[in-house]
Amino acid sequence: MGQDAIWLHDRRGDRSLSSEGTVINRMGAASLPSFSPNGRYVHYLRESTGSVRELWRADIESGRNEPVLPGIAIVSYVSIVFDQRSESGKPLTRNKL
């Protein structure tokens, strides 16, 4: 069986941001990563055993993970739209019509 992996390459070297890695740790499958414009967050779909796939974000510096739309099932997305006025980097989702 394969493993999901999201990798970050920066001045500190290579590190995994995946479900097996240092930021998104033991949380199930992680897919469709997308960086916020300020580079502070990685937004991704998280799916744990027995749960729905949800949109989550990982703070790259602190390692903190949190759901963006708790309890709302997301199958996939075309893009994430970020509000340029937002200091937090929280995304607004846009549905494909």
What residues make up the domain containing 70?
7-86
Q: Is residue 96 part of a domain?
A: no
Predicted local distance difference test score (pLDDT) of residue 53 = 84
CA distances to 6, 29, 42 from 38, rounded to whole Å, are: 18, 25, 10
Is residue 93, in this structure, part of any structural domain at all? no
Residue 67 lies in a domain: yes
With a cut of 70, list the residues of the chain below it in pLDDT.
Answer: 1-7, 15-28, 49-50, 79-97
Asked if residue 40 is part of any domain, the answer here is yes
Residue 95 placed within a domain:
no
| Closest listed residue to residue 43, CA positions, set 59, 27, 28 | 59
HSE toward the beta carbon, residue 97, CA cutoff 13 A = 0
Contact yes or no for 26/78 (Cβ under 8 A): no
Assigned domain for 94 exists:
no
- What does the pLDDT read at residue 95? 45
Rounded Cα–Cα distance for residues 23 and 40 (Å):
12
- Residue indicated by tokens 């890695």: 21
* Per-residue pLDDT at 96: 44
| CA dihedral sign, ordered 70, 5, 3, 31 | positive
Number of domains observed in the structure of the chain: 1
